[in-house]
C-alpha cells in the first residue's frame, strides 16, 4: 500500500517489517510488511483489535521480542539514520530509555514491587545520563512534579502498591520522559484506568509532548482516544497495516470495511438519548415472560468495612468504610448500571450482594435475606444469583477443559447426569455463539472475547435470575466488547435476566442500563432512570464523569 509521508525527515522509519513466531507446527508470520513513518512532534496512533500486531510492532521497535518465540525475519527500523535491527544488546541498552522510551499498559507489572519509586526513577536517570545520585534525585523530583504527582518528595520513598493506578502510570511516564527521549511508545497506557484518570493521563501526555518535544506512538483499541490524541492513524489487522492517514480523513472517509466496523462499534455517549432502556438486539426472538411485581434483588443499608482488630501481639489494621448505606432494588428483565471510579465501592458492592464478603444491612435475593448465612446455607442461593468477573482468563482454571468448567456448577448442585450435562454444555456454548466442540479445548486456546463468552455460559448453567457483571467487558477490544454486550442484551430479552452491571465506562452503562446508580467513596450520590441520570444529571461528579468520556470525533478534540 502507498505510504503516508511528509516533507520533514522522520524521527523513526519502519520499512517492510516482518516478524515470525515459532510454533510446534513451524514458523508462522505474525507481522507482514509493516511500514510507517513517525515525524518530529507527531502523535501516531496504531489501532486495531487484540492480535492485530500492535504490541508486537512496539516490542520490535524496542528490540524486546522474546527470542524463544518471536523473531524479526526481515525489514528495517531506523531511528533517524541509525538502523536498530542489527544493533547488539549492549548498544540497544543506550537506545532504550535514552532515545526511545516505552510506557506499558499495566504499570504495576512494569514497576518492581520491592524497590521504592525513587530508586527506580534515579536508576534510569543515572544509567542513561551518567549523573551522580544527588542530581539524579533532583531530576526525579522535577519529573514527578512535571507529571502532576502531589507530594513528590514523599512519593520517592513509597513503593508501587502504595500508589493508585493513575499515579503509577504517571510514574511510568515520568520515568520514560526523564531522559528526554526522541520517541515515546505508549502501549495501551489508559486501558486499565477510569475515564476521569484516563482523561488526566491523555491531557498530561499532550502537555509533555508540547514541553519536551517528543514524538509519540500511541497504541490503543479505543477509537475515542485515537480521535482525542492522534495526528495520524494506522489501522492494523492480522499483522498488517491495512489503512493509514490523517485522523480527520480516516474518521470521515474510512476506506476499509474493517476500519468502518471499528468506528461503528464505538459506544457513543448520548447515542441512546430519549429512550428508557437498552435497544432490542434480537427483534425476532420471543421475549421472556417476566413477572413484574417482586424484585429479584433488594439491598437496604448495605455497609462493608475493611480492617482487622488487634489480637494478642498483632496490632491489626484500622477500619476503613468501603461501602456506606447503599440501597437499591432490581427486577427481572432490568439492568441497574453501577458506575464510578476505582475505589468508589462498585466491585465491593457487587461481591457483598452475592455474599462473597462480610457485610451489614439487608440483602434479599428472591425474597430471602442472605445476611449472616454460611457457605452451606448460601448454596441454594447460588442457583439464583451468579457473577461474571472482569478477567475471564483469571476466572477459568487453566488446567480444566472449557466443557468441564461450564459443567462444574451442575455437578456441585447435582442437577444432571453425565449425558445430560454434556447436552447442557453444548446447548450453552451454542447460546453464547460458540461451537459445541469448544468443550474439549482449554482457556488459553481462546481469545479474550471468547473466554468471556465461556464465563457467561458458565454463569447461565444454573439458569439464574440475577447476574452481577463486574467490569465484564473492560478488558475487551471495542468490537469484541460490542458483540459481548449484544449477547448479554439478547440473553436478558429471552431469559428475563436481571443484571447488576458494574462499570467505569459511562458510554457502556448508557447502552446497557434501565436504571443507573453513581457511586463515589462508597456511597450512591445519584440514582434514577437512564434518561434522568444521563440527560439531566444532578450531581457535579456525574457531570464530570460524562465530560471525561473521549468523544470518537476528531473535530471535537479537547485542547490543552
Give the tens place of pLDDT for each residue, 248-281: 999 999 999 999 988 888 777 877 777 777 877 6
pLDDT exceeds 60 at position 7:
no
Q: Which residue has the cell 497506557?
A: 189
Q: For 24-38, 129-143, 304-318, 413-427, which range has the lowest pLDDT when averaged over its residues?
A: 304-318
Q: What single-letter DSSP state applies at residue 158?
A: S
Residue 225 to residues 190, 339, 393, 550: CA-CA distances in angstroms? 9, 20, 26, 6
Alpha-carbon dihedral of residues 307, 369, 471, 555, nearest 10 degrees? -110
| Sign of the CA dihedral with 137 first, then 142, 147, and 151 last | positive
Angle at the Cα of 526 from the Cα atoms of 271 and 381, rounded to 5 degrees: 95
Distance CA 277, CA 510 (A): 9
- When pLDDT is cut at 50, 70 and 90, the band that residue 402 belongs to is very high
- HEC-encoded secondary structure of 197-224: HHHHHHHHHHHHHHHHCCEEEEEECCHH
Distance CA 271, CA 482 (A): 14
E-strand ranges in 130-200 read 183-187
Contact 46, 4 (CB under 8 A): no
Cell of 555: 473535530
pLDDT of 287: 63
Q: Quote the mean pLDDT of the chain.
A: 86
Contact 125, 179 (CB under 8 A): yes
Q: Which CATH class is domain 293-307+318-384+498-560?
A: alpha beta
- When pLDDT is cut at 50, 70 and 90, the band that residue 4 belongs to is very low
- For the ranges 95-99, 339-343, 380-384, 556-560, the one whose mean pLDDT is highest: 380-384
pLDDT of 6: 46
Distance CA 88, CA 357 (A): 52
With a pLDDT cut of 90, the percent of the chain lying above it is 45
| Residues whose CB falls within 8 Å of the CB of residue 441, separated by 6 or more in sequence, listed in order | 401, 402
- When pLDDT is cut at 50, 70 and 90, the band that residue 5 belongs to is very low
Is the pLDDT higher at 312 or at 537?
537
Start-end ranges of CATH 3.40.50.300 in the chain? 40-65+94-264, 293-307+318-384+498-560
pLDDT of 315: 65
163: nearest Cα among 118, 227, 212: 118
pLDDT of 289: 62
Distance CA 235, CA 54 (A): 9
Q: For 193-202, 232-241, 288-297, 489-498, which range has the lowest pLDDT when averaged over its residues?
A: 288-297
With a pLDDT cut of 70, the percent of the chain lying above it is 93
Please provide the CATH number assigned to the domain covering 40-65+94-264. Answer: 3.40.50.300
Is the pLDDT higher at 201 or at 528?
528
Q: Other CB atoms closer than 10 Å to residue 492's CB: what's the count? A: 24
The mean pLDDT value for 98-114 works out to: 83
Tell me the pLDDT tens digit for each residue of 162-206: 887 778 888 888 888 888 888 999 988 877 677 777 888 888 888
Tell me the pLDDT tens digit for each residue of 441-458: 998 888 777 888 899 999
Tell me the pLDDT tens digit for each residue of 460-475: 999 899 999 998 887 7
pTM of the full predicted structure? 0.77
Q: For 102-106, 359-363, 520-524, which range has the lowest pLDDT when averaged over its residues?
A: 102-106
Number of residues in the chain: 560
Amino acid at each position: 500500500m502507498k505510504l503516508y509521508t511528509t516533507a520533514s525527515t522522520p524521527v523513526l522509519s519502519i520499512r517492510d517489517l516482518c516478524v515470525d513466531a515459532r510454533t510446534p507446527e513451524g514458523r508462522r508470520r505474525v507481522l507482514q510488511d509493516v511500514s510507517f513513518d513517525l515525524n518530529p512532534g507527531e502523535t501516531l496512533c496504531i489501532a486495531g483489535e487484540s492480535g492485530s500486531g500492535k504490541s508486537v510492532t512496539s516490542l520490535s521497535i524496542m528490540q524486546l521480542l522474546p527470542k524463544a518465540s518471536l523473531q524479526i525475519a526481515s525489514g528495517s527500523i531506523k531511528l533517524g539514520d541509525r538502523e536498530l535491527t542489527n544493533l547488539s544488546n549492549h548498544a540497544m541498552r543506550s537506545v532504550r530509555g535514552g532515545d526511545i522510551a516505552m510506557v506499558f499498559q499495566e504499570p504495576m507489572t512494569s514497576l518492581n514491587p520491592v524497590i521504592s519509586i525513587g530508586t527506580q526513577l534515579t536508576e534510569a536517570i543515572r544509567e542513561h545520563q551518567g549523573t551522580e545520585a544527588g542530581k539524579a534525585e533532583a531530576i526525579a523530583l522535577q519529573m514527578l512534579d512535571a507529571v502532576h504527582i502531589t507530594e513528590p518528595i514523599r512519593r520517592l520513598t513509597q513503593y508501587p502498591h502504595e500508589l493508585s493506578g493513575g499515579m503509577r502510570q504517571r510514574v511510568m511516564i515520568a520515568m520514560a520522559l526523564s531522559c528526554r527521549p526522541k520517541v515515546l511508545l505508549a502501549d495501551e497506557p489508559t486501558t486499565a484506568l477510569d475515564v476521569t484518570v484516563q482523561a488526566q493521563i491523555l491531557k498530561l501526555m499532550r502537555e509533555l509532548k508540547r514541553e519536551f518535544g517528543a514524538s509519540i506512538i500511541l497504541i490503543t483499541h479505543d477509537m475515542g482516544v485515537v480521535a482525542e490524541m492522534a495526528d495520524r492513524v494506522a489501522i492494523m489487522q492480522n499483522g498488517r497495516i491495512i489503512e493509514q492517514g490523517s485522523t480527520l480523513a480516516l474518521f470521515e472517509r474510512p476506506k476499509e470495511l474493517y476500519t468502518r466496523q471499528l468506528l461503528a462499534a464505538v459506544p457513543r455517549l448520548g447515542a441512546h438519548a430519549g429512550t428508557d432502556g437498552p435497544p432490542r438486539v434480537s427483534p425476532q426472538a420471543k421475549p421472556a415472560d417476566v413477572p413484574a411485581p417482586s424484585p429479584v434483588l433488594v439491598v437496604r443499608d448495605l455497609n462493608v468495612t475493611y480492617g482487622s482488630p488487634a489480637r494478642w501481639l498483632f496490632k491489626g489494621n484500622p477500619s476503613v468504610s468501603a461501602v456506606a448505606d447503599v440501597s437499591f432494588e432490581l427486577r427481572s428483565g432490568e439492568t441497574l448500571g453501577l458506575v464510578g471510579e476505582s475505589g468508589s465501592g462498585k466491585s465491593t458492592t457487587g461481591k457483598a450482594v452475592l455474599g462473597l464478603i462480610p457485610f451489614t444491612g439487608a440483602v434479599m435475593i428472591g425474597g430471602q435475606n442472605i445476611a449472616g448465612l454460611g457457605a452451606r446455607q448460601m448454596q441454594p442461593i447460588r442457583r439464583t444469583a451468579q457473577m461474571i468477573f472482569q478477567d475471564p482468563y483469571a476466572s477459568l482454571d487453566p488446567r480444566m477443559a472449557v466443557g468441564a468448567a461450564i459443567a462444574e456448577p451442575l455437578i456441585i448442585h447435582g442437577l444432571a447426569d453425565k449425558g445430560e450435562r454434556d447436552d447442557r454444555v453444548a446447548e450453552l456454548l451454542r447460546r453464547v455463539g460458540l461451537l459445541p466442540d469448544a468443550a474439549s479445548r482449554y482457556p488459553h486456546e481462546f481469545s479474550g472475547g471468547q473466554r468471556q463468552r465461556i464465563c457467561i455460559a458458565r454463569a447461565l448453567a444454573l439458569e439464574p435470575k440475577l447476574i452481577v457483571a463486574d467490569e465484564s467487558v473492560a478488558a475487551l477490544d471495542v468490537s469484541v466488547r460490542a458483540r459481548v454486550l449484544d449477547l448479554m442484551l439478547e440473553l436478558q430479552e429471552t431469559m428475563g435476566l436481571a443484571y447488576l452491571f458494574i462499570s467505569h465506562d459511562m458510554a457502556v452503562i448508557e447502552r446497557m442500563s434501565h436504571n443507573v446508580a453513581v457511586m463515589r467513596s462508597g456511597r450512591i450520590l445519584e440514582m434514577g432512570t437512564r434518561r434522568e441520570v444521563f440527560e439531566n444529571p444532578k450531581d457535579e461528579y456525574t457531570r464530570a464523569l460524562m465530560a471525561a468520556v473521549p468523544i470518537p470525533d476528531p473535530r471535537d478534540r479537547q485542547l490543552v
